[in-house]
Amino acid sequence: MERYFVYVVTFLLILHLVQAQNQTGFISVDCGLSPLASPYNAPETGLTYTSDADLVNSGKTGRVAKEFEPLYDRPTLIMRYFPEGVRNCYNLNVTRDTNYLIKATFVYGNYDGLNVVPNFDLYLGPNLWSTVSSNDTIEEIIHVTNSNSLQVCLVNTGISIPFINMLELRPLKKNMYVTQSGSLKYLFRGYISNSSTRIRFPEDVYDRKWYPLFDNSWTQLTTTLNVNTGITYELPQGVMAKAATPLEANETLNITWTIEPPTQYYSYVHFAELQNLRANDTREFNVTQNGIYTFGPFSPLPLKTASIVNSIPQQCDGGACILQLVKTLKSTLPPILNAIEAFSVIDLPQMETSNFTVVGIKNVQDTYGLTRISWQGDPCVPKLFLWDGLNCNSSDISTSPIITSLDLSSSGLSGIITQAIMNLIHLQKLDLSGNNLTGDIPAFLADIKSLLVINLSGNNLSGSVPPSLLQKKGMKLNVKGNPHLVCTAGSCVNKGDDGHKKKSVIVPVIASIVSIAVLIGALVLFFILKKKRSPKVEGPPPSYMQASDGRSPRSSEPAIVAKNRRFTYSQVVIMTNNFQRILGKGGFGFVYHGFVNGTEQVAVKILSHSSSQGYKQFKAEVELLLRVHHKNLVGLVGYCDEGVNLALIYEYMANGDLKEHMSGTRNRFILNWGTRLKIVLESAQGLEYLHNGCKPPMVHRDVKTTNILLNEHFQAKLSDFGLSRSFPIEGETHVSTVVAGTPGYLDPEYYRTNWLTEKSDVYSFGIVLLEIITNQPVIDKIRVKPHIAEWVGVMLTKGDIKSIMDPSLNEDYDSASVWKAVELAMGCLNPNSVRRPTMSQVVVELNECLASENARGGASRDMESKSSIELSLTFETEVSPTAR
Written out in words, the top-level CATH class of the domain with range 658-855 is mainly alpha
**Lowest model confidence (mean pLDDT) among 115-129, 388-402, 477-491, 535-549:** 535-549
SS3 state at 779: strand
What does pLDDT average to over the chain? 83
Domain 563-651 listed as CATH 3.30.200.20: yes
Q: Range(s) for CATH 1.10.510.10 in the chain?
A: 658-855
Per-residue pLDDT at 882 = 25
Q: Quote the CA–CA distance of 671 and 676 in Å, as a whole number.
A: 6
Q: 867, 310 in Cβ contact below 8 A?
A: no
Q: What is the DSSP string of 644-692?
A: TEEEEEEE--TT-BHHHHHHTSS-SPPPPHHHHHHHHHHHHHHHHIIII
Query: Would residue 702 show up in a list of annotated catalytic residues for this protein?
Result: yes
Mind listing the pLDDT tens digit for each residue in 845-871? 999 999 888 887 533 333 222 222 345
Catalytic residue among 641, 702, 720, 814: 702
Mind listing the pLDDT tens digit for each residue in 431-488? 999 999 999 999 999 988 899 999 999 999 999 999 988 888 889 999 999 999 987 5
- Helix 758-774, helix 839-855: angle, nearest 10: 20
Does the structure show a pLDDT above 70 at 555? no
Mind listing the pLDDT tens digit for each residue in 480-516? 999 999 875 555 543 333 443 343 344 444 444 545 5
Written out in words, the top-level CATH class of the domain with range 186-346 is mainly beta
Phi-psi domain of 177 (left: phi exceeds 0; alpha: psi -120 through 50; beta: other): left
Q: Which residue has the higher pLDDT, 883 or 855?
A: 855
Per-residue pLDDT at 119 = 96
Mean pLDDT of 395-411: 87
Q: What percent of the chain has a predicted confidence (pLDDT) above 70?
A: 82
- Which pTM does this prediction carry? 0.61
Per-residue pLDDT at 504 = 38
362 labelled ligand-binding: no
Q: Quote the CA–CA distance of 276 and 258 in Å, as a whole number.
A: 35
Cα within 13 Å of Cα(603), Cβ side: 24
Mind listing the pLDDT tens digit for each residue in 774-830? 999 999 988 888 999 999 988 887 777 788 999 888 888 988 899 999 999 999 999
Per-residue pLDDT at 667 = 63
Q: pLDDT band at 13, cuts 50/70/90? A: very low
Q: Is the dihedral of CA 405, 410, 414, 416 positive or negative?
A: positive
Mind listing the pLDDT tens digit for each residue in 717-762? 998 876 666 654 444 444 555 677 788 999 988 888 888 888 999 9
SS3 labels along 354-384: CHHHHHHHHHHHHHHCCCCCCCCCCCCCCHH
Does the structure show a pLDDT above 70 at 877? no
Per-residue pLDDT at 625 = 75
Q: Quote the CA–CA distance of 583 and 591 in Å, as a whole number.
A: 5
Q: Range(s) for CATH 3.80.10.10 in the chain?
A: 355-486
Q: 164, 31 in Cβ contact below 8 A?
A: yes
Q: Quote the CA–CA distance of 371 and 434 in Å, as a whole number.
A: 18
- The DSSP call for residue 717 is E
Mean pLDDT of 652-670: 80
**Lowest model confidence (mean pLDDT) among 59-73, 227-241, 751-765:** 751-765
Q: Which residue has the higher pLDDT, 130 or 512?
A: 130
Written out in words, the top-level CATH class of the domain with range 26-172 is mainly beta
Per-residue pLDDT at 312 = 85
Which residues, 6+ apart, have CB-to-CB distance to 475 below 8 Å?
451, 452, 453, 454, 469
Q: Quote the CA–CA distance of 394 and 400 in Å, as a whole number.
A: 7
Mind listing the pLDDT tens digit for each residue in 581-634? 888 776 667 889 999 987 889 999 888 765 545 676 787 778 777 777 889 998
Give the CA dihedral 727, 730, 733, 736, nearest 10 degrees: -50
Q: Quote the CA–CA distance of 329 and 399 in Å, as a whole number.
A: 54
Mind listing the pLDDT tens digit for each residue in 97-108? 899 999 999 999
Does the structure show a pLDDT above 90 at 4? no
Give me the residues paired with residue 726 across strands: 698
Mind listing the pLDDT tens digit for each residue in 148-186? 899 999 999 999 999 999 999 999 998 899 888 899 999
CATH of domain 355-486: 3.80.10.10
